[in-house]
Chains A and B, each alone.
Chain A
Amino acid sequence: MTRKILYRGAEAEIRLAKYMGKTVVQKQRVHKRYRIKEIDTQLISYRTKEEAKLIAEARRHGVSVPVIYDVDLLNGCITMEYLKGRRVKDILNTLKEDERRRICHLIGESIARLHEHDLIHGDITTSNMIYYENRIHFIDFGLGSQSIELEAKGVDLHVLMEAFESTHSKHPRCFEYVLEGYTKQLTGDASGVIEKIKEIVQRGRYR
């Protein structure tokens, strides 16, 4: 089997592999020496299981995600579709404002689809979105969960707000665009979540 490491993230290695004749991506969570075995084993198997579950759920509700081929809980490995696109992190700053707005609308719409079905991504950053065939694909649901609570949805969007502030600070309207897309897509009223985000910001230190 040919294995090429595409990316070494904080908690997993992303590598290219062959699976039933197809080129696939394997996300292999790696053991961390710094944490005790009890925490390490629990986190790896829990996150692998949750991630696979959430990706499958997200797809059911029309959010673009990679197709999952195999889940190996024991080894903390998910085998999934290889998306040849580019990370939104790498393209967002280079776009014209109109196009940036369009992309952010797409992001907001996808998040609304997730939240409408009580799916919390847990780590919405532009590093975790792949732009491929004119769609935004969400990856890395490793910190995700399912929740009906406004709080969880607010925190989910707040993570993205902070990612924009730290990584795309030159384009201050991105988050506003995301909320436009989010509000438009959501069948219910988005104002509750938007108020919640403000509350979370205020809760932070020195705000």
Chain B
Amino acid sequence: MICLGIEGTAHSIGVGIVQDVKGMCQVLSNRIKTYQPEKGGIHPREAANHHAMYIASLLSDSVQAAGVDFADIDLISFSQGPGLGPCLRTAATAARALALSLEKPLMGVNHCVAHLEIGRGTVKGCKDPVLLYVSGANTQVIAFAEGKYRVFGETLDIGIGNCLDKFGREIGLGFPCGPKIEEYASKGDEYLPLPYSIKGMDLAFSGILTASVAYARNGRRLEDVCYSLQETTFAMLTEVTERAMAHTEKQEVLLGGGVASNKRLREMVQMMAKDRGASFFVPSRDVCVDNGAMIAWLGLLMYQSGERMSLQDSLINQRYRTDMVEVSWRD
């Protein structure tokens, strides 16, 4: 079965084409276009305009890159939520139009669950992980328990990526700020104390953001502020992930989301896993960031497990929570 997936929850519009090979996901093509705001953060309507501008060419490029015909595609899936309304609607509209014109079934999927499933689908040995999902908007620790993907820990205020971006903007770095902060941090060596904010398995970043901005404004070395910001927030993320692993008694950890590209975060989570005797997995970069292939893969899993979606049910849901998804494709 071949599925084409359209991702459009935030700044990226992506089209991925996948097929299943003995239960694993084979990515045939995976194209992404990312909206870059001129200044500030993501403007939802501008991002949606960006997506509308590129979706048609992305679709034809993807089909070509995959070496298939539109007629070969068996299913169209799209990111139904959570995300920014205008962006979600653009991707959903494209998916509906494609499904109707090709006369193929349509499947809306949860973006957060897709991040987890693409790990299980593409990384060998990754079967039942605890996912640390870290992106601009999302920071969640997700694992399968009692028939659903459940959120064991999450941010109580802003996502980690958003925390880094906001800090970066305050000190004059361009979006996305994560890679630049990572570079500064690698040259820092003095730790400046920051709040360490963990509540059970939940986290809060806004106080750390405020304190870091204050350090920067008071003239502390930017390298040291970035270093302290990363070390504190990543230690918190690693700690809640470890707590979730202990709580669920799972032996695998998977990273997902844009911030998973950060080498220091990877190193910390990997070290934690090693010391617990657990396995550490991170998908290849193209399927780790927001992308169409993961949307296609989850759509395929759902369809093959017997789920169907009517056009009427394909409305987007900006607040589509991870634990709202009925998981029909796993025991």
Q: Is the CB of A205 within 8 A of B145?
A: no
Q: Which residues of B contact A33 (CB under 8 A)?
A: 271, 275
Q: When each residue 182-207 of chain A gets 1 if its CB lies under 8 Å from chain B and 0 otherwise, what string results?
A: 00000000000000000010011111
Q: Is the CB of A165 within 8 A of B323?
A: yes
> Is A159 located at the chain interface by the 8 A CB criterion?
yes
Q: Is the CB of A10 within 8 A of B235?
A: no
The residues in B between 132 and 155 inclusive whose CB is less than 8 angstroms from any CB of A are 137-138, 145-146, 148, 150-152, 154-155
Q: When each residue 164-208 of chain B gets 1 if its CB lies under 8 Å from chain A and 0 otherwise, what string results?
A: 000000000000000000000000000101001011111000000
Q: Is the CB of B199 within 8 A of A159?
A: yes
Q: Is the CB of A10 within 8 A of B239?
A: yes
Q: Is the CB of A166 within 8 A of B271?
A: no
> How far is A203 from B272 in the complex, measured between Cα atoms in Å?
30
Q: Which stretch of A35-43, A61-69, A110-118 is in the interface? A: A35-43
Q: Which residues of B contact A8 (CB under 8 A)?
A: 246
Q: Is the CB of B231 within 8 A of A35?
A: yes
Q: How many inter-chain contacts with C-beta < 8 Å in the A-B complex? A: 100
Q: Which residues of B contact A155 (CB under 8 A)?
A: 156, 199, 202
Most buried by B among A11, A33, A36, A39: A39
CB distance from B161 to the nearest CB of A (A): 13
> How far is A10 from B245 in the complex, measured between Cα atoms in Å?
8
CB distance from A204 to the nearest CB of B (A): 7
Q: Is the CB of A34 within 8 A of B156?
A: no
Q: Which residues of A contact B137 (CB under 8 A)?
A: 205
Q: Which residues of B contact A204 (CB under 8 A)?
A: 154, 156
> Is A146 located at the chain interface by the 8 A CB criterion?
no
CB distance from B202 to the nearest CB of A (A): 7
> Is B250 located at the chain interface by the 8 A CB criterion?
no
Q: Which residues of A contact B267 (CB under 8 A)?
A: 34
Q: Which stretch of B17-25, B84-92, B302-310, B313-321 is in the interface? A: B313-321
Q: Which residues of B contact A200 (CB under 8 A)?
A: 156
> Is B238 located at the chain interface by the 8 A CB criterion?
yes
> Are A122 and B238 also in contact (CB < 8 A) when A39-B231, A127-B247, A166-B150 are?
no
- Given A10-B246, A32-B235, A34-B275, 20 more A-B residue pairs with CB atoms under 8 Å apart are A9-B246, A10-B242, A11-B242, A32-B239, A32-B275, A34-B267, A35-B235, A36-B235, A39-B232, A123-B199, A124-B200, A125-B200, A143-B198, A159-B200, A162-B201, A166-B150, A166-B151, A169-B146, A205-B138, A207-B321
